[in-house]
Structure 1
Amino acid sequence: MSDNHAVPVKDILADPTHPAHAGVVFLAEKVSRGEVSLCACIGPVYGEPYCACEMRRRGLPPSDEHVKALEESTAKLKSLVASGALSSEPGNTTQPEIDVADVVKSHQIRFVQLPKMDIDAVVLATMRHLRAIGSKQQPRGIYVASRASIPERAARWKHLRDVEGWHIVSTWIDEAGDGETDDFSDLWLRIVDEIRGAERLILYVEADDFPLKGALIEVGIALAAGVKVFVVAPGVAIEARSRRPIGSWMDHPLVTLAPSMEAALEGAARRSRSDEEKAALLHRVFDKIDALPADDFTRKLATYKDGAVTKALVEMHEMSATVAATGKDND
């Protein structure tokens, strides 16, 4: 393979003769024992057991150490490039771009490679990681759960977010209908992250929506994370004792039956203009790379002669640092 061509980890695990086999096995064992963050990203973590987005996913409070990690990550990655720890050897067609075992052992960098992912996917996952860190200062938002198969619902929630300015954090509303995601694993990781980071969840359900499916899982995630839940059920006759057809979980102390969306939104966060602009700038930086076709993405990586993935990560860190410092991207 060429310097910038990644071998999927599942293939390395299945091939004992591959030069990275021992390292990947080593890493897989650390993941299975829970010694490495289950988040699919690369990132230096100082004095913390998990990276910032795994902390969010587990419902743990943000840490000042993660701010330090973001500030120091560029310097750390550059030092790894200089030492050769993350560089591939030019002309060597069997040398992996990243020796995961050495990285984990020598530099204490949490690096998780899920079997279905290749190196390019790790870069994209890392961009999502940086995006999560960069936007963590926003106020806790609103997660809206409802039937995803009804386009009018998603359009209504987008109107509340984009026109009325409510701080709705549910990203599924941008993928409902024709734009539906083809990666439900990624979708549900995002859902868990968004709910746990929310200030409230609003379940909107009408009489024709039963039986509920994914929305019940979303409510369960919220209650397990201590997130308050508002139920808006226009036209639904709810039995006094059993709470059917919704369920007896409505009597949980975190759950409130609201007469309308307006009532459920009372006291919730709105997006400030500065938050919107800051988030938009950061998203634009990463969306430029997210939007690249596969061939263009490969060519972008190929512009780096050595340690292509690492240097791409360094570039991403530098871009995020620029946005954080100046509020401007490089357009």
Structure 2
Amino acid sequence: MSNQKLKAAIVGASGFTGSELARLLLNHSEVTIEIITSESHVGKPFSDLHPQFFNRLDIPLVSADEVGNSNPDVIFLALPHGVSMDFVAKWKDSGAKIIDLSGDFRLSGKEVYEQWYDKKHSYPEGFDAAVYGLPELFAEQIKGANLVANPGCYPTASILSMAPLFAKRLVREKSLIIDAKSGLTGAGVKASATTHFSSVNENFKAYGIAGHRHTIEIEEQLGALAGHQTAVQFTPHLLPVDRGILVTAYAKVTGDMNQEKLTEIYRDFYQDKPFVRLRNQAPGIKDVRGSHFCDVFPVWDERTERVIVISVIDNLLKGAASQAVHNMNLMFGLAESEGLNQVPLKP
């Protein structure tokens, strides 16, 4: 790279992901934030929406129509699914690399998307161009990509919990159960009856049972690793906390297994992956809060002959914004960890 900094556009400023992207990019040595958009807040300073940026990032919000005029090198789409696809179609030839944080290009194609998202897909050609943006699996493809589909937060934690075993084709068909729990920010910034304080506080519940749309994303990626289709039982739950995802994954394996062998499989798979930390005790969500780490703890249960893997991430970071920055670093040939070395915030 030359000494010139990358010009970044963040499209969609009002949500948690947009603000976390801004926080990371503001402290990234190779990037300048050129433009931040919000259709409903045009003209307001970004820091009016997110007061933590007062005196640090006060640039006025503009309409997405302005993005073309600023000639960005990279466009981050921090938009809801169903909206992103139109912008990808619009800017595909702009010369900018696009990182889409919605679900619009994460799946294998239009039919699968329409079935699971219950929405028409207006730009199916994008599926051929998009690379699934999980650096631990696809770093080489991401380096050459012009469109990256940033993975979902639940799928990130879930796929990383089981990838080493699927890559070795050791998981018994239909034996994988993923019990996942997310903080409230995973539901997005708009309040609803479900996310109302009085519904969430002192409460805990499952949702999306036997059909959550992240199921197919997990199945496709783990299936691709194993070289065949796979079925996953995935159940998400809502925790009364701000941020964080904890996944407990259970699976039966083929052949002989013991703790030493299991640990070795995980160590080999993740040895050169700087942001997956293999833990020697069960991690909690505060162990990764505010960071780009995914902490993984694989356990062999001799009694039930089952693998149990605990995996934790910060849903807004490794599950969204810092993953997008990691992808940007790869796409532009920057150091992989540039701007991502935050130590988790605890307590």
TM-score when scaled to structure 2? 0.27
Which entry has the higher C-alpha Rg, 1 or 2?
1
Pick the structure with more helix per residue. 1
Structure richer in strand, relative to its length: 2
Larger RCO (CA within 8 A; separation ≥ 6): 1
